[in-house]
Structure 1
């Protein structure tokens, strides 16, 4: 596993676009082999080739915890040397420093769409990088890929969401939405992002069953009662926010947030109850 990652990281550190592209494909291929189910028959593979839009399904966690390759990869992500997200962030920083052109923009979009190590984005330096990618000067492909990455980074991670808010992420997102030059496709993704953001937070400790990290590596438990242990009411958990609290924050930058919330309650696009 270390050898596979080392080859990919060498390519990601290159100054040649072709090598960077190769490194991104190697990382993507490695993650696909570990996390996605393979076709079980020749007929399945034939149907897959005839219908390229059909994507392999993720492996269930019950299978992943018994997979030696996944266990080894998971263990390596705890260290700096083999952490994929750290290398992708470094690659993004390098690409952003090279200016905007067609080839570079494609590499940035590809790099942004690779699933991140979410705990990384609780740190301001890395969340700022995502917000920089939402700058209006970037192409729609980069903006769209970044919004998807941002959803992945914030999902079930209240600490990351608080960092996003502290760095004026809501201002960045709403300003891009208000720009006339913003493409229709990006505006639709921005609306989807706002629906997602307005969902109430339910913190989850996302360590797959059977995989134990050392206590220093685990996020501290944040699923706590909104009341104090002595029974006094009204003390809100600072780690999470409700839809009403998020509505108040978003309302500073965008009108008619109430309409978004009402629509969210009626349609439940993410299959959860909004309260």
Structure 2
């Protein structure tokens, strides 16, 4: 399968989950070897997720509801006036059918305009600024601590040696893997082990460099699957722009946990930093 065939015949149905088993197998085989189509797939999925979110039922603003009601009142008043001036020599049966058709046409014209106003309001409301990010609690936990640590980081693991941090994390039933961001100019500042509201342990490892800061958060996944809206997927890493932050969501080899890397670095440079550290 070539790219043109995939994009024209498969892409939309692939995103919507409407491919047959055989078609899905062909599509997945193509995506496995085509970075361009993987990017198109991610873009299409992100757009459709945004449309689903923005098309949610919204309460019509009072000003728009007032316009619709005023239009309906005007139609009713015009209809009453028109029917009152009709000659009594016409029979009710002869008059009713054509008036009904005319009244429907006249009624739906202003109502359609008012409805269009509602539609325009919702669309403009949606694109007037960036759409609000769908709440993802683990991301919110990570960025909240990132902001705090960027101002002042107070480690509670006494050592800053990677081996000692790893042992401390493992002792608290957390993954012992530590990122080494030294090749891209970040210094390991230390680690913290805290507890979340549900009582589970969480580990924070903080890095600082000339280009900014990075926070690594380890916590239980609680069944979290990669949310929609990712910018890019590279192996086990899922990249997101979330509330102004660059985020990498990964699943460590030790099951049941997630690793969330948070930074203010532009996404392209953030991905390059992570790739450099893994190479």
Aligning the two structures, in what range does the TM-score lie when normalised by the shorter sequence? Answer: under 0.3
Larger radius of gyration, structure 1 or 2?
Answer: 2
TM-score by length of 2: 0.21
Q: Which has the higher strand share?
A: 2
TM-score by length of 1: 0.22
Higher helix share: 1
